[in-house]
Structure 1
Amino acid sequence: MPALQRRQNVRFASGDTSCAAWHYPGSNGGCVIMAGGTAVTKEPASDLFAARFNDAGFAVLAFDHRRFGESGGTPRQIVRFDEQVADWHAAIAYAATLPDVDPDRIALWGFSLAGGHIFRVAADHPRLAAAIAQTPLVDGRAVAPHALRAMTPLAMLGLFGRAVADALGGLVGREPLLVPAAGPRGAVASLTTPDAMDGDQALDPEGRYANWDQTVAARIALRLGGYRPGRHAARIRCPLLVIVCDQDQSVLPRPAVRAARNAPRSEVVRLTGRHYAPFLESHEQAVAAQLSFLRKHLASRDFH
């Protein structure tokens, strides 16, 4: 039976709500917990990789952060970094209770913003077996100037005006003011770097995910520049695989390479291509590197 047909809908508690997830039952005791970045929900974020991991015997738990996708939490489409990190902690606790999972053989996988979260979460979980950060956003301060240069002055003014209005409105209980998570240069969108618009082709080329809301509360523009999860790298004790793309214009390769050097047990795999290359032209190379890493660090042993 194909992996996408084996998976099961599950939910786990996080904070005052619950997160929706897919559980792909595994056969070897290892488990990979997966989530995507910014407004990317579990299906477009994980389907391509989750099926390959599951076919190799690993259980997979792919989830939506609260306020996104099928998870609970209101208001919707708001990125709150601490909340999302808490969702990862809750996912780890839940995965450890699954009958097909060895609690000592859990790995994390995230890309883009979630790839940055991996650094924070792994630093706080010494029991983790491994972690994979794919094209991670590790240093908003380093990335922000490049992202701003990719905007037209008018679009920049529009975004930050909307972001301030959104943040102030949130203080008095108004509904979030939404912007596209990605857009072409000149659009009022969260990200307009040259590779920002590769997302549809990479994550949903056939338009399968009709319910995927690709918007985000505009206030993220005020916060992303201060998010620097790569600073936690030195505290990560588990093996860490960092996938970077040399032509990445969205999170840039250099900050991730620099952060990886500070993690005691890190490996870096460099791919040719832009931010979404691991889903596109470099997919097989990315999958091969990640499966090799998982097999090495989630090595099969007797599990009952």
Structure 2
Amino acid sequence: MVGGTAVTEEPASDLFAARFNDAGFAVLAFDHRRFGESGGTPRRIVRINEQVADWHAAIEYAAGLPGVDPDGISVWGFSLAGGHVFHVAADHPRPACAIAQPPLVDGRAIAPNALRSMTPGALLRLLGLGVADALGGLAGRPPLLAPAAGPRGAVASLTTPDAMDGDRAPDPEGRHTNWEQTVAARIALQVGGYRPGRHASRIRCPLLVVVCDQDRSVLVAPAVQAAANAPDAQVVHLPGRHYAPFLESHEQAAEAEIAFLRKHLDHHGSRDSR
């Protein structure tokens, strides 16, 4: 299990991991390198190829754990990591099934909406910061950071109407005080070109795609279209915005995902440990 761009392991997975564990499934939640409790420097930099490689390493690590059936592994990702699920499930032979929860599957399709949510001045400042960050990285300078989310007018990676729900969704009680919600600004130059949904036709395991019908961050249509291109995919529509699975639609999301896991993993046998 992995969270979105700057959503680290505990706030990303705690709500769902506890439910999966109670249902009898072992859970391995991890941070991509350069984020959270994982190593890697410089920090806060999103490199897509590195993150996908981290998934492959985590799958193989999980397969070698005591009591884990190596043929009974599922992958779960949210937002940007939900997009990675498409990539990983297409390329790695091991997953028995996969769950993508409001996934970012087509950066090109969502870019116009993201740009409309920004003021012209904030957009120019963010792009300037992204270019400076990218050039600084080539020169070995520390990353220039931007908030992962902000209100319209802020110089932040995402300023869609539901972007700020991230503050109250994965960590409503503010328990994760070390959760740094920033990202290297060069991500503004990357996400528009990331289109993991294009891998959908190569996914051979069952795929559950969870979408939120009022999502203004990754949008609904790209994920539904990508799911339609997968050989064995199911789409669950939830009411609410991007973070609804952590908020008002949590029960519906958790029940759908547990039912999916039971259908595709129970015959492998599960364990009551996290």
TM-score bucket of the superposed structures, by smaller chain: over 0.9
Q: 1:134 is paired with a residue of what secondary structure?
A: strand
CA deviation profile, 1:40-93 (whole Å, cap 9, x unmatched): 100000000000000111000000000000100000000000000000000000
1:129 to 58, 78, 96: 96
Contact 1:159–1:188 (Cα < 8 Å) also in 2: yes
1:58 aligns with 2:25: yes
**In structure 1, what is the Cα distance between the partners aligned to 2:72 and 2:232?**
16
The answer for the alignment partner of 2:266 in structure 1 is 299
**In structure 1, what is the Cα distance between the partners aligned to 2:175 and 2:265?**
32
What pairs up with 1:34-73 in 2 under 5 angstroms?
Answer: 34-73=1-40
Structure 1 residues 115 and 302: alpha-carbon distance in aligned structure 2, compared to 1, 3 A threshold: closer
Contact 2:24–2:270 (Cα < 8 Å) also in 1: no
**In structure 1, what is the Cα distance between the partners aligned to 2:93 and 2:59?**
12
**In structure 2, what is the Cα distance between the partners aligned to 1:38 and 1:94?**
22
**In structure 2, what is the Cα distance between the partners aligned to 1:77 and 1:100?**
34
Gaps of 5+ in 2: none
Contact 1:59–1:100 (Cα < 8 Å) also in 2: no
CA deviation profile, 1:187-246 (whole Å, cap 9, x unmatched): 000000000000011011111000001000000000100000000000000000000001
Decide which structure has greater strand share: 1
Q: Which amino acid aligns with 1:246?
A: D
Contact 2:166–2:243 (Cα < 8 Å) also in 1: yes
**In structure 2, what is the Cα distance between the partners aligned to 1:153 and 1:303?**
51
The answer for the alignment partner of 2:245 in structure 1 is 278
**In structure 2, what is the Cα distance between the partners aligned to 1:279 and 1:169?**
36
Structure 1 residues 173 and 39: alpha-carbon distance in aligned structure 2, compared to 1, 3 A threshold: same
The answer for the alignment partner of 1:249 in structure 2 is 216
Percent of aligned positions that are identical:
79
**In structure 1, what is the Cα distance between the partners aligned to 2:241 and 2:29?**
24
Contact 2:208–2:236 (Cα < 8 Å) also in 1: yes
The answer for the alignment partner of 1:19 in structure 2 is none
Greater RCO between the two (CA within 8 Å, min separation 6)? Answer: 2
The answer for the alignment partner of 1:170 in structure 2 is 137
**In structure 2, what is the Cα distance between the partners aligned to 1:212 and 1:263?**
34
Contact 1:126–1:236 (Cα < 8 Å) also in 2: no
1:215 to 182, 200, 203: 182
CA RMSD of aligned residues (A): 1.1
User: Normalization by structure 1: what TM-score?
Assistant: 0.88
What pairs up with 1:1-304 in 2 under 5 angstroms?
Answer: 34-301=1-268
CA deviation profile, 1:260-292 (whole Å, cap 9, x unmatched): 000000000001100000000000000000000
Gaps of 5+ in 1: 1-33
Total equivalences in the alignment: 271
**In structure 1, what is the Cα distance between the partners aligned to 2:206 and 2:33?**
27
Decide which structure has greater helix share: 2
Q: Which amino acid aligns with 2:258?
A: L
**In structure 1, what is the Cα distance between the partners aligned to 2:216 and 2:83?**
16
How big is the shift at 1:128? Answer: 1.4
**In structure 1, what is the Cα distance between the partners aligned to 2:187 and 2:67?**
37
